[in-house]
Each structure stands twice: as structure tokens, then as C-alpha cells.
Amino acid sequence: MTTITLNNGKEFPVVGFGTSRTSSGVIIQAVKDAIDAGYRHIDCAHIYGNEHEVGEAINAKIAEGIVKREDLFVVSKLWNCFHEPKEVKPALEHSLKQLNLDYLDLYLIHWPICYQKSNELCPTNEAGEILYGNTDILDTYRAMEELVDAGLTKSIGISNFNIKQIDYITKNARIQPVTNQVECHPYLLNKKLSDFCKSKNIVITAYAPLGSPARPRATPDYHVLL
């Protein structure tokens, strides 16, 4: 698997296996097959609701001797309900417990949007409107930096951040984000954002690189890349 070097010197496999929108019962075999096929970068998130199954597959392949933990680059993401600084470490520890791993290779802020702390992942009022929190995204990021200090993740980054938000983080960060994971494909090049990230030595990680034809918001006339 080809890698590129991140701004902190870590090697990042350029092709990743995404685990979003995978039905329960399918993801375990899918991750096993991916590892057998040569994938070493596994992309997860709390909101996907399947980290325990992804972890089962990863640990099965480690037990088989197919890979060692250090061969894999495992990513997860901080969900919007856990942006308060005191919630950041427990959120990562929850993902580690689900994955049955001692550390992550990369932990991302999933969205630059803060929801109110709730038992629901997408808290809403009686009108169905999202209930937003007011935590400054820089405070969240500084709590992410402490996760690196604690050895819980080797790298930190961001996802779905725009240029203004990235500039705010990079000008104030002690540990620079290594990547910004955003939607990027031939119908959404995101070139201006990509060029800005490159100027900051931040790698763009493309999600939905094939256009995500199964996306809920796809219209009947949506052109499918494949």
C-alpha cells in the first residue's frame, strides 16, 4: 500500500476502507476481506454505529497473524455531541473500547458543528430542529491535542472544515491538523479548499470519491460516476 508522509512524519496509506452505511452483519466480513485484499487504512466514526464490529474484524485478522496492529492505520471521529472539552477524551476512549484497541492512528473532529450534549446523537426540539451547543471549535481542538499527549492517538485532524475554520485552527493550534477529510470527487473538486490545505501542509482525505450514488439526498437525475 502506497503511503504519503503527514506533517508530523507519520505514514498515511493513500487508499482507505470506509465503514459508513454498512449494515450490521456485513461489516465484519467486509473489513476482513478488505484487510486480506491489502487495505491498511480503515476509516471509522462514532456516528456509524458499528465500531464494535469493525474492531472484531481487525482483531480477528491480528489474531490470525495476517497483520500486526502497527501495520494498520485506524481512524475514528469525534461526534458533534461531544465537543465540550471534558467530553472529548471519554468519546475517544469509548471508540477505543468499541474497537478493542489501545490507540488510534488518527482522530478527527467529524464536523465543525457543536450539538447540545444529549442521550440522542442528533438532539432536536419539539419542532424537529437541531439543538446546537456553543463550544468554541478551538476549545474542542485543544482537547484533541491533549489526546496526542496522552498517547491515545498518534495524529489529530479535522473533517468538513472550510477555509475560514481551518485558518482559525492552524493559527492557534499547538499541534497542527494532519488532514481535512472532505467530500471530493469529479462532481465536487473542492479545488480552492484543497489548494488552501496544501499551503498549510494539510493533506486532503477524500470521502465519497466515487460520488456516493446511494446518498440520501441524491435526486433521480443524479449522474452516477460509475
110 is in an annotated binding site: yes
Rounded to the nearest 5 percent, the helix, strand and coil shares of the chain are: 35, 20, 45
Please say if 48 is a catalytic residue: yes
Q: Which helix (H) or strand (E) holds 5?
A: strand 3-5
Among residues 83, 96, 88, which one has the least CA distance to residue 52?
Answer: 96
Among residues 20, 144, 137, which one has the least CA distance to residue 31?
Answer: 20
Among residues 166, 165, 138, 158, which one has the least CA distance to residue 78?
Answer: 158
| Residues contacting 185, CB < 8 A, separation 6+ | 206, 208, 209, 210, 211, 212, 225
Q: Which of 39, 48, 107, 141 is catalytic?
A: 48
Q: Where are the alpha helices (DSSP H) in the chain?
A: 27-37, 51-64, 85-99, 137-149, 163-172, 191-199
Q: Are 175 and 145 in contact (CB under 8 A)?
A: yes
Among residues 76, 153, 74, which one has the least CA distance to residue 109?
Answer: 76
Which residues belong to the annotated binding site? 110
What amino acid positions are annotated as catalytic residues? 48
Which residues belong to the annotated binding site for substrate? 110
